[in-house]
Structure 1
Amino acid sequence: MKEIYEIAVVHGDGIGPEVCSAAVEVVKAALGNGSPLNFREYPAGAEHFLKTGESFPEPTFDACRSSDAILHGAGGIPGVVHPDGTEAGLDFTLRLRFELDLYANIRPIRLFEGVTCPLAGVKAGEIDYIILRENSEGLYAARGAGVQLRGELSVDTLVQTRVGVERIVRKAFELARASNGAPKDGVKRVTCCDKANVLRSYAFFRAVFDEVAPDYPDIEVEHVLIDAMTMHLVLRPGHFNVIVTENMFGDIISDLGAATIGGMGLAPSAELGERNGFFQAAHGSAPDIAGKGIANPYGTVLSAAAMLDWLGSKYADSRLSDAAANIRAATNKALAEGCLSADLKGNWKSADITRRLCDQLAAMR
């Protein structure tokens, strides 16, 4: 347990400041007076790039690296790009992933009571799984290193290493072991999602998975090709418990999974390394609704709860773990009672949702 935890807060772009501020307010309400968290704000993102020509200032990176955890709103604005065409606002997230070795991107996909599922007949509790995305290798490792030859040819390299694959696979089995199993049958199961029938890099991913699996005899294992997975997540989502996959595939199917539970506004994420933890909702910056007060704060609030869980486990601090549990309970209650933002077909403003969560948390203390 630490006396004070330093939290680097980077609001980012678009709706980022709105949802990030909401999450900070909710965390403070959960912890009450004498909170051990010290929030410090730092600049980064596309809007900062437009003002200064720099998207990720070095002092911000140093603060993120030395802080106990990083909380982010959202990054990027369409059309704000570097000379090579890549988005300036993504530098923040991608640099943290690669330079702080945040290799495990944990994206829970859960259908809440009170939220209408776009899949016919699927009810709350019937979708509850984790997509574990390898976060430091794969196709995205080529960012900034690909080749473009005279406007006629371009090449990006997909990178898989034994160390990288083994550690993400072991993380998947640990998550499954700590879970309640798949909603449909209660089985603790890890699904390896790849394209091993076509590409050697994915065949390698599967081979390492198969080498690790016997170390976890209590966990059921299976393989699903990525194209089949996009179908299964729609037709039988209750079968899945933990899905482990390469960087780009994880990026794609986590958005698909989010769509089945009401949208990206309910999709939190935790990006973890051996030392650092980075927490943000999986959604983008949605500049078209920025400043209108209708952004969905739940994804960032749940990401902040994951931050408290991670810190509470890391430092054996029950104050943080209990606060995380209370935030999730308050979120469950608010959604079940119909506190829905516009993207969830409701009419609750961001500030009203935040206030409701804070009031519920105050009553829990």
Structure 2
Amino acid sequence: MSAGKAYRLGVLHGDGIGPEIVTAAVAVLEEAASSGGAEFECSELPLGRAAIDTHGSALPEETPAALAGVDGWLLGPHDSVSYPEPHRSRLNPSGAIRKHFDLFANIRPARAFPGGHALVGNTDLVMVRENTEGFYADRNTFAGSGEMMPTPDIAIAHGIITRAGTTRIAHEAFRLAATRRKHVTIVHKANVLRLTSGLFRDVCREVAAEYPDIEVDELHVDAATVHLVRRGDQFDVLVAENLFGDILSDLAGEVAGSLGIAPSLNAGESHAMAQAAHGSAPDIAGRDLANPVAMILSTAMLLRWLCGRHDDTRLLDVADRIERAVEATAARGVVTPDLGGTASTSGFTTSVLEAIRAGA
């Protein structure tokens, strides 16, 4: 057990609403840590449009170098489509970080809570998304973008599914399900993509045989969208390749109430990154309107991952304090406009801090 350890965290604000929601998450973390007896040292690192202006790169070399030496990090959303060339055409900062540190598992919960206005009440599921291959061409090759245009009128991208990549993400899904309601749904499109998606399905089935206590079923990705909307409360853990998992997790976030409450964790063997599932929302940036819940809950997920790595139960206590305070605040009707409320980003954050101090 790492009793007394001070955990070093990198803080990358990102673009758009990133500085607002990351600042909120850090404030909540520090308040919960002071109540829970844990200690964190947070270091801000350059990333995004501000880094282009100051360092000439959206991801300066010093940033991944520094991240390699910390225990984990918080990453705000990026708005890479607005970057000037040549930065816009390069791999976006979050994708580059995931690739550099081999953060192969993207864990995306979708859980309804009081005051959250879920489309399907009692939704409590987790999307386990393979994060390094599949049909996202910018992440599935050692070098290059994975896309090409042989002529101005033809664009080609390749998708890659490997036994090794699928095996490790399938184990992540089944290990997670063993701690929850012991049910995994394999999502694929093997009826059309017989070789690629077929390999993903088959390897997941092989891994399932190692977990006889876990119930397993499967859905084609198009059918999964329908079932999520109609009966999102009946899913436990879903496992999918990169593109399918990205799309379905966004849908699941809305089913649970709003993409603004959808957290995620990008994890590898030795590093993990808290990153909200939503984007940078430049239209509301700087207006104190953004919902910080997803970023705050992503931070709690990082603490749980760190607990598993360092066997430090103080981190579970801090994560519990954060999650209880968020739920208690929402239950009182203090929510941001995306959830039908009137609270500002700063106002919601202040209420969460008060809930932590009150022992919610």
TM above 0.5, yes or no, is: yes
Q: Please tell me whether the aligned partners of residues 116 and 258 of structure 2 are also in contact (alpha carbons under 8 angstroms).
A: no
Q: Identify the match of residue 230 of structure 1 among 225, 230, 234.
A: 225
Q: 2:77 is matched with which residue?
A: 74
Shift of 1:24: 0.3
Which of 336, 359, 362 is 2:357 aligned to?
362
Whole-angstrom distance in 2 between the partners of 1:273 and 1:37: 21
> Does the CA contact (< 8 Å) of 1:142 and 1:158 recur in 2?
no
Match for 1:256: what amino acid?
A: L
TM-fit CA distance, 1:364 = 2.3
Aligned residue among 169, 194, 197 for 2:191: 197
Equivalents in 1 of 2:136, 2:85: separation in Å? Answer: 17
- Number of residue-to-residue matches in the alignment: 351
Match of 2:205 in 1: 210
Out of 118, 129, 146, the position equivalent to 1:133 is 129
Aligned partner of 1:20 in structure 2 is 22
Runs of 4+ that moved beyond 6 A? none
Q: CA deviation at 1:83?
A: 4.3
For 1:337 and 1:238, locate their aligned partners in 2 and report how far apart those are by CA, in whole Å.
Answer: 23
CA distance in 1, matches of 2:77, 2:319: 21
- Contact 1:32 1:362 survives alignment (8 Å): no
Residue of 8, 32, 39 corresponding to 2:34: 32
Instruction: State the distance in 2 between where 1:79 and 1:26 align.
Output: 30
| 2:184–2:215 CA contact under 8 A, matched in 1 | yes
Q: State the Cα distance separating 1:167 from its structure 2 match.
A: 0.6
Structure 1: distance between partners of 2:33 and 2:82: 40
Is contact 2:38–2:315 with CA below 8 Å preserved after alignment? no
For the 8 Å contact 2:58–2:87, the answer to whether it is kept is no
Q: Which runs of 5+ in 1 are unaligned?
A: 182-187
Does the 8 A contact of 2:48 with 2:79 survive in 1?
yes
**Normalised TM-score (structure 2):** 0.93
Percent sequence identity over matched residues? Answer: 40
Q: Deviations over 1:67-102 (max 9, x none)?
A: 11010121115432544964x6x6221011112110
- 5+ unaligned residues in a row in structure 2: which ranges? 140-144
Residue 106 of structure 2 corresponds to 105
Q: Distance in 1 between matches of 2:243 and 2:63?
A: 27
Separation in 1, partners of 2:279, 2:105: 20
CA displacement, residues 106-137 of structure 1 (integer Å, 9 cap, x when unaligned)? 000111111212x3xx43xx200000000011
Equivalent residue, structure 1, for 2:318: 323
- For the residue of structure 1 that corresponds to 2:218, the secondary structure is strand
Assess if the C-alpha contact under 8 Å between 1:142 and 1:156 holds in 2: no
For 1:16, the aligned partner's letter is G
TM-score by length of 1: 0.92
- 1:38 CA drift (Å): 0.4
Question: Structure 1 stretch 26-35 or stretch 6-15: which is displaced more?
Answer: 26-35
Once the 2 structures are TM-superposed, how far is the Cα of residue 142 of structure 1 from its aligned partner? 3.9
2 CA distance for matches of 1:190 and 1:145? 30
Q: Distance in 2 between matches of 1:231 and 1:15?
A: 31
